[in-house]
Structure 1
Amino acid sequence: MTAMPTMAPPGLLTLGIEEEYLLLAKDRPEAAPVVEDVIDRVSPALRASVQHEYFRTQIEVAGPPVVDLAALWRSMSVLREGVADAAEAAGARLVAIGACPVGGPDSPVVDQPRYHRMEERFGALSPGHGLNGMHVHVGVADPELAVQVLNHIRPWLPVLHAVTANSPFYQGIDTGYASWRSVMWERWPSVGPTPHLESFAHYRHLLDDLIASGAVLDEGMLYWYGRVSATYPTVEIRIGDVCPTLDDAMLVAALVRALVGTAIADIGAGLPAPAIDQQLLTAAHWRAAHDGLEGLAVDLVNQRPRPAWHLLRRLFDLVRPQLEAHGDLEITTVLMSRLRSHGSGAARQRAAFAKNGRLDDVLDLVTAATRG
């Protein structure tokens, strides 16, 4: 995020997102380590919202926090288009995809002290060209409330994980997973479902112990799927791949905000957080990464597999009052219908590949989708 969250009207929550993208060479199917050149070419009006990621083949943008979903869509559209233009001027193209689907030499990390410390500490844990995700920030200023929210939303994050699946190909092959990025990402020691937390003091104690263990360098490396933001007064949800289109990204963002709002209402009503076994929750996230939206998902209420779309519909119905309260019900209904008709990013990539068996067609598809 690049700015402090704005104040929301009473009962409403601010919303912001961060997106990470892959930089590909414009004239050949391989990653392009040109992030410095791209950032230099970004217009001054957008520069504050664009930054490096871990590898030189990645770039990250952050939309300003807002209350109105349409305003977020507009700001992210300007960012995607502006950074895509800068990438093309640098001889590359901007691709909203979870992992690089083609081969080539590993990218060097960005020349920053923190990234060099990560590389020294964790070695070859994350080779390649980078793993690109989407993070959703929802304004919750009270850290004690934020921790309770994290407890309440845990059962539904695997469903949203499935919605974002957008990386079936890696190193030139179909991995058999809808989100191979998720599999690669979980090699880091601090990645995984957020544990049940007793309080914000418990949260801080766990974080301090993880830093002391050496498994993370600092608070920014706490890669739980839901966390209290290290920088801003927000709950930060960081479960899945970057979405190929802004339609998909806005749907996920709206559902996350409505889920947080639903949790806050339940907490205010004195309802306890659902009791979810951590191992089963981990299994549900694995299933989401494997099957994506087109397969099965784990129903954490009755511990049985169900079609992922069935659970997404249940989530939509659960958070409907909050979607309506934030003015998002009509647009999310439309976006749900569009997603149902064209499928997840992973499904779209596989359909493009199936036509001629060419990864170039996949790259062309996602490049066009990124611009919208």
Structure 2
Amino acid sequence: MTFAGRRPTGPAVPAGAGATMRTVGVEEELLLVSERTGEPLAVSSAVLASAAAEGDDGEDVLEKELHQEQVEFATRPLADMGAMREEIVRWRGEVGRHAERAGARVAALATSPLPVEPSRNLGRRYRWMAEQFGLTTQEQLTCGCHVHVSVESDEEGVAVLDRMRPWLYLLNAISGNSPFWQGVDSGYSSYRSRVWNRWPSAGPYEPFGSAEGYHSRVRDMLDTGVLRDPGMIYFDARLSHNYPTVEIRVADVCLEPDTTVLVATLARGLVETAARAWREGEPAPDFSAGLLRLASWRAGRSGLQGPLLHPVTMRETSAETALGALLTHTEHALRDTGDHEAAVKGIETLLAHGGGAQRQRELYEEGRDLAEVVRACARITTGEL
């Protein structure tokens, strides 16, 4: 199915109109695994120590996560998606190099295909989470891809959050890369999204209406005592508490760098489209969070195979139709940044050949065991395969 030439919706801003292109930053969480067995290895401290010993910027780019079997890197804020791809490839390679020094490989897998009992990292915050949330904390060895898109103010950011709500789950469908859980096929494209939504603050949200409405809701949630700090506000998208950005948090970490770039491209398109709609006085869609939870579940279950819920009607449709609607919705914004052709091609390629979840299943169905699936995915992650 081709998406070229579809009629765009929403207000158009001509290219070269003088608007500053929004910057995008990507955070990828990666698994650390054994080359021999494919099982996750608790060596994040050694990986971070290796980066720190070199005295380069790796010490600032790489960070620990909840469990010792994973590590995260963050790109710089960039406007050009070609540069974004180069940086993602570079840092995957750097993490891989430091992982090898620690006797491990790095794999862009959103869940471990093999059974694992994760080892929690040390620290007061992580200890508090384990005491507060029990088994939910222990089970959260999941790897996501978070996309930060710059906004001019909290008011613009909240207007964007309110207007993006019915489109976000499509990014989870595109990125689905976690079909296996504890040694079995989960039946999901993104089982990570189901595990992640066990956190009490995670998932779709009701509209906020204004920046004050957003901050008031966050204060109310923190005042309950259930959450420790603003970093535990796990909405599908939120205002970053560290940067002047909207942070979109629905995607699995993607097996291929090109899929990560596609997710980042579409995320920026959604932010810009929503901001333009706000400036034009268009109201935010009024779908309930409950309805969006169903759409999110459907996306995690079906992924690129479909069906998905249509983001305008909230009725079942094919993945091709739902993703075509996404491209139509964001077309003006994508054309203005020069990303439309690449986005169309990226969607068409994924629909034709599948994404990370399908690739993992194909590797397994070729007669390989799950350990070999992990090894193959590690080679894909660092560009060897």
> In the aligned structure 2, how far is the partner of 1:280 from the partner of 1:228?
22
Q: 1:81 aligns with which of 75, 93, 118?
A: 93
1:174 corresponds in structure 2 to 185
| 1:228 is the counterpart of 2:239 | yes
1:28 corresponds in structure 2 to 37
Deviation at residue 201 of structure 1 after TM alignment: 1.2
CA gap 1:129/1:202 in 2 versus in 1, 3 angstroms: closer
> In the aligned structure 2, how far is the partner of 1:121 from the partner of 1:18?
26
2:8 corresponds in structure 1 to none
Q: 2:105 aligns with which of 93, 99, 124?
A: 93
2:277 corresponds in structure 1 to 266
* Deviation per residue, 1:216-236 (Å, 9 max, x gap): 110001000010001100001
Deviation at residue 326 of structure 1 after TM alignment: 1.1
Conserved in 1, the CA contact under 8 Å of 2:109 and 2:254? yes
> In the aligned structure 2, how far is the partner of 1:128 from the partner of 1:209?
27
Q: Choose between structure 1 and 2 for higher RCO, CA contacts under 8 A separated by at least 6 residues.
A: 2
Deviation at residue 333 of structure 1 after TM alignment: 3.0
2:5 corresponds in structure 1 to none
Count of matched residue pairs: 363
Conserved in 1, the CA contact under 8 Å of 2:120 and 2:138? no
Conserved in 2, the CA contact under 8 Å of 1:102 and 1:171? yes
| 1:213 is the counterpart of 2:224 | yes
> How well do the aligned residues superpose, as a CA RMSD in angstroms?
1.4
Conserved in 2, the CA contact under 8 Å of 1:100 and 1:129? no
Q: 1:54 aligns with which of 56, 66, 76?
A: 66
State the TM-score, normalized to the length of structure 2: 0.91
* Deviation per residue, 1:269-311 (Å, 9 max, x gap): 1111112122111100000111111121111422310112221
2:57 corresponds in structure 1 to 45
Q: 2:143 aligns with which of 127, 132, 155?
A: 132
Match runs of 1:82-121 below 5 Å = 82-104=94-116, 106-121=117-132
State the TM-score, normalized to the length of structure 1: 0.94
Q: 1:323 aligns with which of 331, 334, 338?
A: 334
Q: What is the SS of the residue equivalent to 2:264?
A: helix
CA gap 1:78/1:300 in 2 versus in 1, 3 angstroms: closer
Q: Is there any run of 5+ residues in structure 1 with no aligned partner, and where?
A: 1-8
Matched-pair identity in %: 36
| 1:333 is the counterpart of 2:351 | no
> In the aligned structure 2, how far is the partner of 1:11 from the partner of 1:83?
32
Conserved in 1, the CA contact under 8 Å of 2:114 and 2:371? no
Conserved in 1, the CA contact under 8 Å of 2:130 and 2:138? no
> In the aligned structure 2, how far is the partner of 1:195 from the partner of 1:277?
6
Deviation at residue 129 of structure 1 after TM alignment: 6.5
